[in-house]
Amino acid sequence: MENKGKKIFLILKIISCFLIYTILFLLVVNTVIGYINFNNIQNDKKIYFISGTKTHESDEELITSYRFGIYKIISIKRQESITYNLKLWFSKDF
């Protein structure tokens, strides 16, 4: 019985380590892609792995939200300036 408990504990330990490392890997990949996309948007280059865009226009500004993964990039174009923000998925766009 004691040997069976050790095997179950070992299997649970392997599964939990696999899940933790998979989540960490996905966070790192998403962060790297977010950084690359942020720089590409600032330099008017091609954007990689974008899941959607949303645009809001008012009299003074044009706000564009580029969404992907856990990050989103907000571009605010005013009359004489452009501001870029990197936010988490649950933050407000406008």
Q: 46-84 pLDDT, tens per residue? A: 887 788 888 888 888 888 888 887 888 888 898 888 888
Cβ atoms 71, 30 nearer than 8 A: yes
Question: pTM of the prediction?
Answer: 0.72
CA angle 28, 34, 39 (to 5 degrees): 130
Q: Calculate the average pLDDT of the chain.
A: 87
Domain ranges of the chain: 2-88
pLDDT band at 1 (very low <50, low <70, confident <90, very high): low
Residue 40 to residue 19: CA distance in whole angstroms: 31
Residue 34 to residue 86: CA distance in whole angstroms: 8
pLDDT band at 94 (very low <50, low <70, confident <90, very high): low
Q: Which residues pair with 88 in a beta bridge?
A: 71
DSSP class of residue 87 equals E
